[in-house]
A and B are shown apart, each in its own frame.
Chain A
Amino acid sequence: MERDSSMHNKSNIYLTVRNSAVLYRRKKPVTYKKITRWYSMADNYNKLLIEHLPLVEKYTRKILRSMNAEYSEADVDDIQQDVFYKILTKGIEQFRGDSKFTSYIFMITRNAVIDYVKKRDRVSLVDTDDETVQGNMSMKVSDFTDLFINEVEMEEVIQLVNHEVGSMKEDYRLIFKMYFVDQETQKDIACMMNKSQSTISEHVENIRRRLRQALESRFPEMKKGIH
């Protein structure tokens, strides 16, 4: 690689890593320091991955536009965050070499856009005072119950869940957001939080139990249907 282009790439990487750090604020375990360390430890293949990260933003915007999807800057940031995470954690091993590497990045970005749009369109949660669960998040109440809940009740359920989650300890709030809202897998959450998968699984069950109890206590007549 030419020296100039190498320097240019390094500058791109620096910007990418810095931006990644900003984007990853909410997923605390993945930090500027961590990405930098990954880069320094990465073999050539994974360096190739990291060097392609600047493409992600271009692809994200282009794909959203080509799909005529409504989006905001925050949506673009969130999608990039997902793509960075997938690229940096799953690395090269899933690339089979059937296409150009840029096409592979295109595929990952496109899939992330589709997943994001799907998630965003689920029932919106209203704001809470806690920044972990703040903002335009979504969740499916059927993750806790299979009850039929009408629109008026749904509003109350959402407030109840928000209140309950807001009163949980920080780890639980983070897991709630990652598992029930962002729909990360327990394995990925364990990796991000540097905990074992069984610990995460236990925490998820505890969260689910607390939310179920809160719902049962508010809607006792529906208790029979809750599982």
Chain B
Amino acid sequence: MHSERLRRIIEAGPCKIDMEQEVLGVADGTINSENTIQQVFAHMAECDSCRYLYEDYFATHDNDGNLLEEGEREETVELGMKLEPGSIVPLAADFMVEGQQAAVLSGEAVSMAEYRVPAGDDTVNVKVYPGDDTVSIHLSTPGDGDRVTLISAGSMETATVEKGIARFENVVPGRVLLVINMRHFVTVKIEK
């Protein structure tokens, strides 16, 4: 009946500590204190409800906080893969780079999964490298200084793009959300 996402939103329930207004304050730019922003992102690592609220704000508003017109909505990017020791089995070919799509369709494992995903007017590259129990995620954006925040169950880490790459090491499998410059989202679902 519902999309998977709507089901997850309903299951998440309301925020237990009533942080929704602060979350929206960060989203719409009212809150610009770096400390508070970090606190809100740290909270979103723990609170699915607020994370979905933050995503929904950007699914419906443009950079200036205006409601998006019909058809302007940025598609949600979700990458799915399974971690096997030393290799990755991508679960869908969406957004994969051309050279890898054939391997994915034949169900083969790859030593590194590479995706090219939209982020606003730009395109970013996401590379996922397998470890034994964790993965490394490297994200390449066009601009040095871009800020990428990784949020997963119970943890949050921010990296700045240097020499074109933001790196996240030892990422535990699960649902991982990458937030680029606080408003573009890439969800990476890693099964184990």
**Residues of chain A whose beta carbon lies under 8 Å from any beta carbon of chain B:** 58-59, 62-63, 65-70, 95-96, 98-100, 102-104, 106-107, 110-111, 114, 117-118, 121
Contact = CB atoms under 8 A, between A and B. Distances in A.
B30 to A, nearest CB: 5
Given A68-B2, A99-B21, A99-B22, 9 more contacts: A59-B67, A63-B60, A66-B56, A98-B30, A99-B24, A100-B28, A107-B20, A110-B53, A117-B6
Which applies to chain B's interface (DSSP): helix, strand, loop or mixed?
A: helix
Contact of B5 (A68, A98, A102): A68
Nearest to A68: B3
B91 interface: no
B60 A62 contact: yes
B3 A103 contact: no
Contacts of A65: 73
A98 B73 contact: no
Interface residues of B, number: 27
Nearest to B58: A66
Interface in B60-79: 60-61, 65, 67-68, 73
A104 B5 contact: no
A9 to B, nearest CB: 18
Contacts of A110: 53, 56
B96 interface: no
What 10 A-B pairs are tightest by C-beta distance, nearest first? A68-B3, A99-B25, A99-B24, A98-B25, A103-B24, A98-B21, A66-B59, A67-B6, A103-B28, A62-B60
B67 A58 contact: yes
B57 interface: yes
Nearest to B68: A62
A121 B25 CA distance: 31
